[in-house]
Amino acid sequence: MKRILAVSLFFALVASPLYVASAKHGAAGCGLGSIVITENKKVHQVIAATVNGTLGNQTFGISTGTLGCETSGFTQKQAEQQIFVHMNFQSLEQEFAKGSGEKMEAFASLMGCSDMGTFGKVGKEKFSALFDQNTPDSFLEKMRFEVANNSALVGSCKI
C-alpha cells in the first residue's frame, strides 16, 4: 500500500507537468471538481481545486486519462518508463556499468526489448554517453534514442 501511495505521489509531482490542461478547464485544471463546477469565477475554481485535491481524483484522472485530463502526446508507456527511471536511477546506473541486472532487465522490458543480453551490452558500451549528465530524464531520452536508432536494438525492441 505504501509503495502504491509513493508511486502515485511521485507521478503526481513529477509526471503531471507533462500533461496539459485543456482550455476548457479553469485554474483548477482537470478532475471531478472541474466537471461538476463549470463556472470560471475565482470562488468556483477554488472550490473545484479543493474537490480535485481533497478527493485525489485529479491525480487519478491524470494517471488514467479520465475526468477530462487529456495528455498531449505523452503515452502511458512513456509515463511508466519515466517513473521507473526516476525511482531506480542509481541502481540502473550501477547495473548499466556492469551490463546486467534485475532493474536493467525490467527497464528493458518497459522499453519493449526482448533481448536482454543485447540491451545490456549496448548499455555497457554506451554507459559514459548515457549517464554523462547524471539526470534520470537525460538518461531516458538518450536510451530512447539508442533503442530507436541502434541497429542491434532495433530488431529486439518494439517501441
Higher pLDDT, 40 or 127: 127
pLDDT per residue over 26-82, tens digit each? 677 777 777 777 777 778 778 888 887 777 777 777 767 677 776 555 677 888 888
Rounded to whole angstroms, how far apart are CA atoms 58 and 54?
9
Rounded to whole angstroms, how far apart are CA atoms 1 and 7?
10
Q: Enter the pTM of the model.
A: 0.56
Evaluated on CA atoms 82, 87, 93, 98, the torsion sign reads negative
Per-residue burial over 101-113, b if 16 or more Cβ lie within 10 Å, else e, is bebbbbbbebbeb
Rounded mean pLDDT, 102-107: 94
pLDDT per residue over 141-159, tens digit each? 999 998 899 888 888 887 6
Which DSSP helix (H) or strand (E) runs through 116?
helix 116-125
